[in-house]
Structure 1
């Protein structure tokens, strides 16, 4: 009986904390909305992307999640990169703006259907409907144009939350690596080590407070690869991230 009461109390505390986290997400986002709208109306996309960076800092501070950003290579804050993080949790989208370079997301069109958030996402970022070949091609073209205009991109190379056994990643899509070779823009692998613990994709909607580690790896020059070695490029980046995931999660 005592164990049941303790378990019930713990679940209740977790639910209250989840409500608090959701409230802070909504409040901080709404407070930032005027900045996002100004950026959209004035076509100052970079302003909106910078605001997203500061929103992430405010949100995670308010919900009490300590961040550890490990940067293994130098990044030019005015440079252009393709950031490639692993993807095990919806929290990954909120965490990635801790990268010190403003970027546009290339994300699922389903995000654009969320009220307010979806409108802002659609205007500042790039959406893709992976079920439609024509839309995938249009997204690729828009992404190339954004890179050529000097915007960095963040693309989850797994193509979504695919893994059922984190921290083991799923296979990588070729899109970001093909873009890198075509444009000469460097790939920056990112290891998100703890999001799947903090906010697991298990349908229970528990948010667990613990330190969140983000490893920003050294940029990889696509000049070392070619279209004929596209698979090697994908696998080299995948193995780099997976090795760091295994290390940080103590998996041999």
Structure 2
């Protein structure tokens, strides 16, 4: 009797089936919420019960074409960097905060993978535990309203005048602004781009701008024009850039797109 597949294997099978149904492609790019190790190209996706999973290799073998798996905040940072007319000397930080919290970084005009898309690594990679506690505290402000809620729902309830929810949103925004300011102090980016999550993002932008101004830091805090699904759109554009570089170089191994 065959053993049932674990949940993680079933999820991978569903991804392969869905990608195969989309028709022919020269390359696929998948935007994920979680860590992607730039050296081993393995993925750690807690929500999918995947730990150090060679997802790129498995999907590439199953589909018979190259598959790139990348953190969604990193992809959003890559796309946001271009329309701001920044130079390679201008770092950019992108905050994804719809579900959990993640930072995407552009340094030297390219994706900086060592942050692995986690807010907890950005300020000090050597002190992950302390920053994980800060992350849990941040999300605790929202989950005090509802264990299953997210920032968009909390912001909408706060806008409706619910006093306890307004307090929770204020605490979340203040703590997150402080954490972002710490990261900005170390990374010194030209721009801090916040995911567009109305009405929460404008409140956060004002709080961060105030903190940066008080510290005399030149970083611009702006709201992303990419919208809620920025990571998905960014994945498509990233894939197109990969193909363009492949055709131009006519080589099997070429650098990642700028």
With normalisation by structure 2, the TM-score equals 0.33
Which structure has more RCO (C-alpha within 8 Å, separation ≥ 6)?
1
